[in-house]
Amino acid sequence: MATAGVPPETAEGVAKLAAMLGVVGEEPLSDPMTLWRFYSARDGNISAAAAMYKETVEWRARFSIESVMKSHGSGEVYSRDGSRASRDPSKWEWRRHASITPEAALAERYGFSGRLEKLATDGSPVAVWRLGQADVAGYAREGLLEVMERAFAAHLEDMLQCARSASHRSCRIIRCRMIIDAQGISAAALWHRKVIQRIISLGKAYFPEINASVTIVNAPAVFARLWVMVRSQLTPVMRRKICIVGSDFETGLLEHSGLQLADLPAFLGGTAADTDICAAEPVPDGVGRAGHFPST
């Protein structure tokens, strides 16, 4: 098996993983650089990586990534099993569209995640989460967890596929730079930790090695308590990538992620468009009862 783009020290392990799985070609998630993500996410344990791969492929069909991506944006075609149907793996043209379905409109207003249109200078996709502004209590109150879970799955898929396409273009593994804005987070979030845990668990279970770094900015004192809760939901590999800084984060951001302040959305002091990220508005009473739920 060719292992172009895979770090030399892991090439043998990735080749053994491919042989164990009996996979060839680009899909489902079976090119060498994507298999490396599974291999790395399980710290080089080939059996554990193979199990994660199989579970992920099965989940993508069961959860219907095809339906999720069609419900939240356009620009790419999927097969029913959750595989990309594109002939050119170096391109990724899917974009989020609020007007495409009522489900997408809800996510655009009350969701908290997004990918910046412009890549980082090293070619990495950049994601921003407005986690401190997310109305998790509103999600729970209005029964919107399934809606937000599907929106978050679309976001994670967008990040994974954008990173895969960038990797193909450069013939090296590229991962994302994640910025989490904790501004506004409060002790109330602790009461709804199961909501946060359920959403975050999608990335842990089914989207391996998306991020090269996770920089948490504007972290208030209460975040230390929330971090203890969230930390237990992450793998050791994921925990090693995380850096937490306060409101004066420009230097820490650059040192940890390589990003300049100007690279970020305007609400974080940068020049990128705020509209690249879902608005994280407070969820009003009655939204859930209006019946705007996904049809699967």
Rounded to whole angstroms, the Cα distance separating 22 from 35 reads 12
Q: Indicate whether 109 and 54 sit together in one domain.
A: no
Q: Is residue 56 part of a domain?
A: yes
Is 252 a member of any domain? yes
Q: Could you tell me the CA-to-CA distances from 203 to 152, 200, 213 in Å, in that order? A: 9, 6, 14
pLDDT of residue 291: 54
Does residue 249 share a domain with residue 201? yes
Bridge partner residues of 265 (DSSP): 272
Same domain, residue pair 206 and 276: yes
CATH number of domain containing 39: 1.10.8
27 in any annotated domain: yes
Q: Is residue 97 part of a domain?
A: no
197 and 275 inside one domain: yes
Q: Give, as one character, the DSSP assignment of residue 119.
A: P
Q: Are 55 and 110 contained in the same domain?
A: no
Number of continuous H segments (helices) and E segments (strands) in the chain: 12, 7
Q: Where are the alpha helices (DSSP H) in the chain?
A: 8-21, 32-41, 46-63, 65-72, 102-110, 136-142, 145-170, 188-191, 193-206, 223-231, 236-239, 250-257
Report pLDDT for 188: 65
Q: Is the domain of 180 the same as that of 257?
A: yes
Q: How many CA atoms lie within 13 A of 14 on its CB side?
A: 23
DSSP code for 77? -
The answer to the question of residue 79 being in a domain is no
Residues 276 and 144 in one domain: yes
My answer on whether 44 and 180 are in the same domain is no
Length of the chain: 296
pLDDT at site 169:
96
Q: For residue 112, what are the contacts with CB-CB under 8 A and spacing of at least 6?
A: 129, 130, 131, 133, 134, 277, 278, 280
Say whether both 173 and 52 belong to one domain: no
Residue among 58, 181, 187 at smallest CA distance from 129: 181
pLDDT recorded at residue 1: 54
Maximum C-alpha span of the chain: 55
Cα distance between residue 105 and residue 153, in whole Å: 15
Nearest-angstrom CA–CA distance, 72 and 63: 14
CATH number, domain with residue 238? 3.40.525.10
pLDDT for res 295:
43
Domain extent, residue 16, equals: 8-63
Asked if 94 contacts 125 with a C-beta cutoff of 8 angstroms, the reply is no
Main-chain phi, psi angles of 27, to 5 degrees? -130, 150
Q: What is the mean pLDDT of each run of 10 residues along the chain (296 residues)?
A: 82 97 95 97 96 98 98 97 94 96 96 97 96 91 93 98 97 97 78 76 92 92 70 75 91 95 98 98 86 48
| Tally of domains in the chain | 2
Is 78 inside a domain boundary? no
Considering the domain boundaries, does residue 151 fall inside one? yes
CA-based nearest residue to 39, from 6, 67, 1, 70: 6
**pTM of the predicted structure, to 2 decimals:** 0.92
- For residue 92, tell me if it sits in a domain: no
Residues 155 and 26 in one domain: no
User: Do residues 126 and 51 make contact, with C-beta atoms less than 8 angstroms apart?
Assistant: no
Query: Is 127:179 a contact under the CB 8 Å cutoff?
Result: yes
Coil, strand or helix: which one is 208? coil
147 shares its domain with 225: yes
Asked if residue 152 and residue 271 are part of one domain, the reply reads yes
